[in-house]
Amino acid sequence: MADILALRRTPRRRHPGSASAGVAELVRATGLTGLVKPASAAAGGPDGVGERVLPVLPELRALLPAGGLRRGSTVAVASTAPAPFGATSVLLALLAAASAAGSWCAVVGMPALGLAAAAELGVALERLALVPEPGPDWPAVVAALLDGIDVVAVAPPGPVSTDLGSRLAARARQRGSVLVPYGQWSGADIVLRTPGGGWRGLGEGWGRLARRGLVISRRGRGAAAHPREVTLWLPLGIEPPPPLVEDAPVLEAAG
């Protein structure tokens, strides 16, 4: 398995905020700074779309007005019931194409993140930085990572104030990175939810689970104000299943 960059806090007798300073030092030491350009400097074609938008899986393009992750934006993944596990899959799916295309991604505050699942969804683990337990200074850690990493996902340990969310979103806009909050987050440009889904392959007393379908809904503002839904079938790389027929039932599931 590819090497994974894990940034961990170490107890030291230093002034408050030393945790974030330590992460910033690690980011600089590992050569991650400078990978992200300010959104205003992004270019890559006549209209600059080439670098202003990071790629996503084809199944997710319809959910994002730009067809990908627009630099400087905040795309939240709601993790509330009834489908928290599906939400984690959505989060990893958002990182997959960008990391495969060469972008660095970071995940903050998710110590139980399944790396095998991330790899199966296409996340390039060699370009994935992890901060499993950022501690109480997690906002400063996220801000430091936004300075040098293209996509930064964060699972806050509790409620996030509107002011704090706005400051981190402004940091992402300034640095040209993409902020992906996992959980409740106010003020995001786009919010993705997993209201349900189903399993294919299990019949009445026969069969085996073969595929899982996640229904992903979008709400947002501006170009994303019009609600939209798509279905992401897992595992990836297999042709979409045929329409439902009597001998190929789907077992509905909420999570």
Domain with residue 185: its CATH number is 3.40.50.300
Give the chain's mean pLDDT: 79
Q: What percent of the chain has pLDDT over 90?
A: 52
More confident residue, 190 or 2: 190
Q: Is the pLDDT of residue 153 over 90?
A: yes
Q: Which of 22-55 are b and which e, b meaning 16 or more Cβ less than 10 Å from the residue's Cβ?
A: bbbebbeeeebeebbbebeebeeeeeeeeebbbb
Number of domains in the chain: 1
More confident residue, 34 or 188: 188
pLDDT of 244: 43
Q: Which of helix, strand or coil describes residue 97?
A: helix
pLDDT of 147: 94
User: Cα–Cα–Cα angle for 113, 120, 110, nearest 5°?
Assistant: 10
Average pLDDT over residues 156-175: 95
Q: Is the pLDDT of residue 150 over 50?
A: yes
Position 171 in a domain: yes
Q: How confident is residue 192, by pLDDT bands cut at 50, 70 and 90?
A: very high
Find the radius of gyration of the CA atoms of the chain. 19
pLDDT of 197: 72
Q: What are phi and psi of 5, to 5 degrees?
A: -80, 115
Position 211 in a domain: no
Q: Is the pLDDT of residue 255 over 90?
A: no
Position 2 in a domain: no
pLDDT of 28: 54
More confident residue, 158 or 255: 158
Position 140 in a domain: yes
pLDDT of 85: 63
- Read off the pLDDT of residues 232-245 as tens digits, 9 standing for 90 and up: 888 776 555 554 44
pLDDT of 46: 41
Position 77 in a domain: yes
Q: Is the pLDDT of residue 140 over 50?
A: yes
- Read off the pLDDT of residues 43-97 as tens digits, 9 standing for 90 and up: 444 444 446 899 999 999 999 999 999 999 999 999 765 555 689 999 999 999 9
Residues spanned by the domain of 179 = 20-43+54-191
More confident residue, 91 or 223: 91
Position 255 in a domain: no
Q: Is the pLDDT of residue 7 over 80?
A: no
More confident residue, 135 or 49: 135
Residue with tokens 């596990």: 85
d(Cα 183, Cα 180) in Å, to the nearest integer? 10
pLDDT of 21: 58
Q: What percent of the chain has pLDDT over 70?
A: 65
d(Cα 172, Cα 150) in Å, to the nearest integer? 9
Position 169 in a domain: yes
Position 247 in a domain: no
